[in-house]
């Protein structure tokens, strides 16, 4: 394969939730492949850590603090991207929060609404303003929405998270239908059990270990690495995936084959 297709030289990318975990790994990989990266997160400290790491590796990054559940802030995120780097070519809509933990009959509706706002509504908002920018430029673009294995296989006591992540696939497919004629591709990545601070926090809460959980969540018997998810997103952002749209790519160690 032509290395120029896999690379992202000259492209401008947004990564939301880029302060830690999969978002940070994705931002660093896109930069390593040549993209100018907007590192977006609600937490200034972690966003700047990611941007500093990119610059230390010789890449180009700019931090935009954004609460992706707020429409005005998402609009400003895209506007600042264009003001800083002149255009937008690809985006990885990764920001999300910890799943809910109660069965439906005990659900806290304030938690339900918050999870839907951050894990689903934010994807819609990001797509809205990213696609507007692609259309304004009159150029192709690629969007990667981060779903979950919960996008296709429900988990008990996670009703809000499951609903949100199922919705991410719906938005992805709808976006692919509406904008393929404009050269805009919209795909999803569905991570499984990935070794992130969110997963480690869940393990601490339950008292379980990776050795306890991983064999049930992966055919490889281990948690995935954030960098493994980042590779999928980078490929979907690149021209190497030019004939792929409306697709959900699972990065889950074979979990969904069971």
The arrangement of secondary structure in 3-194+227-247, i.e. its CATH architecture, is 3-Layer(aba) Sandwich (3.40)
Examine the pLDDT at 130 and tell me if it is beyond 50.
yes
pLDDT value of position 1: 44
Of the candidates 161, 179, 243, 255, the residue annotated as catalytic is 161
- pLDDT tens track for 45-99: 999 999 999 999 999 999 999 999 999 999 999 999 999 999 999 999 999 999 9
- pLDDT tens track for 146-172: 999 999 999 999 999 999 999 999 999
pLDDT value of position 252: 98
pLDDT value of position 206: 74
Pairwise CA distance, residues 197 & 195, whole Å: 7
Domain ranges within the chain, ordered by starting residue = 3-194+227-247
Examine the pLDDT at 5 and tell me if it is beyond 50.
yes
- pLDDT tens track for 198-238: 888 777 777 788 888 899 999 999 999 999 999 999 999 99
Give the chain's end-to-end CA distance (angstroms, integer). 32
Grade residue 2 by pLDDT with cuts at 50, 70 and 90.
low
Judged by average pLDDT, the poorest of 32-36, 204-208, 244-248 is: 204-208
Pairwise CA distance, residues 12 & 82, whole Å: 9
pLDDT value of position 4: 61
Whole-model pTM: value is 0.95
Mean pLDDT over 125-135 rounds to 98
Q: What is the dihedral of CA 212, 233, 90, 66, to 10 degrees?
A: 10
| Per-chain mean pLDDT for the chain | 95
- pLDDT tens track for 166-178: 999 999 999 999 9
161 is catalytic: yes
């Amino acid at each position: 394969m032509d290395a120029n297709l896999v690379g992202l030289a000259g492209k401008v990318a947004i990564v939301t939730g880029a302060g830690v975990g999969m978002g940070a790994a994705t931002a660093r990989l896109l930069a390593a492949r040549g993209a100018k990266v907007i590192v977006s997160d609600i937490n200034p400290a972690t966003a700047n850590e990611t941007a500093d790491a990119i610059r230390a590796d010789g890449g180009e990054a700019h931090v935009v603090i954004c609460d992706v559940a707020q429409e005005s802030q998402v609009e400003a995120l895209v506007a600042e991207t264009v003001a800083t780097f002149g255009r937008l070519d690809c985006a990885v809509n990764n920001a999300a929060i910890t799943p809910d933990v109660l069965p439906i009959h005990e659900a806290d509706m304030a938690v339900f609404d918050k999870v839907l706002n951050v894990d689903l509504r934010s994807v819609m908002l990001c797509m809205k303003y990213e696609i507007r920018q692609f259309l304004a430029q009159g150029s192709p673009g690629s969007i990667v929405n981060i779903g979950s294995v919960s996008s296709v296989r429900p988990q008990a006591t996670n009703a809000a998270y499951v609903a949100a992540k199922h919705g991410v696939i719906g938005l992805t497919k709808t976006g692919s239908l509406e904008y393929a004629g404009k050269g805009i591709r919209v795909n999803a990545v569905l991570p499984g059990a990935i070794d992130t601070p969110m997963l480690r926090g869940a393990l601490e809460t339950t008292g379980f270990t990776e050795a306890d959980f991983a064999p049930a969540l992966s055919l490889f018997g281990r948690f995935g690495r954030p960098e493994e998810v980042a590779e999928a997103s980078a490929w979907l952002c690149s021209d190497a995936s030019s004939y792929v749209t409306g697709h959900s790519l699972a990065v889950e160690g074979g979990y969904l084959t069971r």
